[in-house]
Amino acid sequence: EADIYQTPRYLVIGTGKKITLECSQTMGHDKMYWYQQDPGMELHLIHYSYGVNSTEKGDLSSESTVSRIRTEHFPLTLESARPSHTSQYLCASSEFRDQETQYFGPGTRLLVL
């Protein structure tokens, strides 16, 4: 079982609210990732980080933002949630020496009303 945690697991929120999805890992991994996944669909990379103070946008454009102030913490923020943001958000981490094997958290299911 990977030591990577996401909170909350489920979030139902109204349109226009600001939300932050938390992701923490205790493995000391330099690389961290955020994916967005709709039910039965592929994972889309929306953000990634190769270390502290490093963040990059992924292949899928997203209105969310991320920060990486500490190695173990990679929060994702939506300034103003909309129904189109309803999805599952998965956080992952990896270590370069491990051939990019990624370890995933349990995910956050977001529903924006």
Interface ranges with other proteins (CB under 8 A)? 2, 4, 6, 35, 40-43, 45, 48, 59, 88, 90, 92, 96, 99-107, 109
Q: How far apart are CA 49 and CA 46, in angstroms?
A: 11
Q: Which is nearer to other proteins, 14 or 40 (CB)?
A: 40
Q: Minimum distance from CB of 84 to other proteins (Å)?
A: 20
Tell the residue number behind the tokens 């955020």, with chain if given: 34
Regarding beta strands 65-66 and 54-57, do their DSSP bridges make them parallel or antiparallel, or are they unpaired? unpaired
Q: Which is nearer to other proteins, 8 or 16 (CB)?
A: 8
112, 13 in Cβ contact below 8 A?
A: yes
